[in-house]
Structure 1
Amino acid sequence: MAFSESAGAESMPGNSGLRKPRILLAASGSVAALKFGNLCHCFSEWAEVRAVATRSSLHFVDRAAIPKDVIFHTDEDEWSWSKIGDSVLHIELRRWADIMVIAPLSANTLAKIAGGLCDNLLTCIVRAWDYSKPLFIAPAMNTFMWTNPFTERHLMTIDELGITLIPPVTRRLACGDYGNGAMAEPSLIYSTVRLFFESRNQSSDGRVG
């Protein structure tokens, strides 16, 4: 996949006037990935968007709902590397992005990230991530999975990296249970990330010296 010449340039505070923000959206294997197309639409009018989907998320992601200007990556793209000198996709995407958003984040992918595992495109990007750049997660899982002690441990671990949690909400879940664990709505995820980005840039622009 070709990247622009400036794809390796890191995000600079106050640089949003020169180009759109670059947002990397990622979906892992939760039924909430049904909303991934909607999430991409929310961001695509404001930002330049690239999308990453794990193999299990493809059971739920409606690829036809992804906006046509959003470049969509899967694990197969990661393993298309063949020789020294070829670009490494998870590194290129990390360089390209100003912000990464994982929505939905499944219990399985949360555990992988907390344990430092990197066995697919999404987790390789996270393992190679430059944590001077924001990374947001929007978990989605059954209530008992969300309240499981392992979840709290894993969230504490990734919080130490500076990853920002967009908490799940309480509603009737896809499995039929009622409780906390449903992914935040795409519109809330979008507004949270955009507010963070614009607030950070305003603070940077207002610095003296």
Structure 2
Amino acid sequence: MEPLPPPDAQFPSEKSLSVPQKKIHVLVGVTGSVAALKLPLLVSQLLEIPGLEVKVITTERAKHFYNTQEIPVTLYSDDDEWQTCVIRAWDLSKPLLFCPAMNTAMWEHPLTAQHVEQLKGFGYTEVPCVVKKLVCGDEGLGAMAEVETIVESVRRILAECVLPRQS
């Protein structure tokens, strides 16, 4: 997500966001998890935030879980695993949110905790997974956060980005 600063340093109201001077760019990356089912809903709710321009990078395996015709924004296919290259080239001064989604056994593996801590160490923001019954039948942590939670996290980050820096 690459927010651009507003023309003034005041905290914007919801109304002032509806007439943005500059677009705020959001890039959604989606992989081959069953959580990709939520992509159409996530994109549609993000598009309700005034001033956002949304694009999606999707792996080919993720396309199995949704209809590409339901995604009303630019959709880039990740044939050559370039999604990871985008993240490696990410400007660390820009916010990046990640929303883990996996089987409970995978979530509980010690490497997962190391990877999550490493991402947080880069300054990325985790939208934590939740407990629920997963498609595989497991019940426990691993399900991607609800779309509303993710969208609210984006809204919070956007509000933080447009607030003037306090010294």
TM tier, shorter chain? 0.7 to 0.9
Other-structure match for 2:94: 133
The normalised TM-score by structure 2 is 0.84
Structure 1 residues 141-156: aligned runs within 5 Å: 141-156=102-117
- SS at the partner of 1:139? coil
Is contact 1:38-1:65 (8 Å) kept? Answer: no
Q: CA deviation at 1:11?
A: 4.3
Which residue is 2:14 aligned to?
Answer: none
Alignment of 1:167-178 (within 5 A): 167-178=128-139
**Which segments of 5 or more consecutive residues in structure 2 lack a partner in the other structure?**
8-16
Identity of aligned residues (%): 39
Shift of 1:122: 1.0
1:180 aligned residue (141, 144, 151): 141
The alignment status of 1:13 with 2:18, answered yes or no, reads no
Unpaired segments of 5 or more residues in structure 1?
1-9, 77-118
Aligned length: 153
Q: Which residue of 1 aligns with 2:69?
A: 64
Q: What CA distance in whole angstroms lies between the structure 2 residues aligned with 1:166 and 1:148?
A: 18
Letter in 2 for 1:149: P
TM-score normalized by the length of structure 1: 0.68
1:199 aligns with 2:167: no
In 2, distance between residues paired with 1:127 and 1:162?
A: 13
2:99 and 2:3 map into 1 onto residues whose CA distance is 22
* Counterpart residue type for residue 13 of structure 1: P
Distance 1:44 1:12 in 2: 17
CA distance in 1, matches of 2:38, 2:142: 15
Pair 1:58–1:124, CA change in 2 (3 A): same
The structural deviation recorded for 1:21 is: 1.5
Q: 2:4·2:22 contact (CA, 8 Å) conserved in 1? A: no
1:50 aligns with 55
Aligned to 2:25: 22
Runs of 4 or more consecutive aligned structure 1 residues displaced over 2 Å after TM superposition: 10-17
Alignment check: 8 A CA contact 2:3 2:158 kept: no
Alignment correspondent of 1:189: 150
Distance 2:144 2:34 in 1: 10
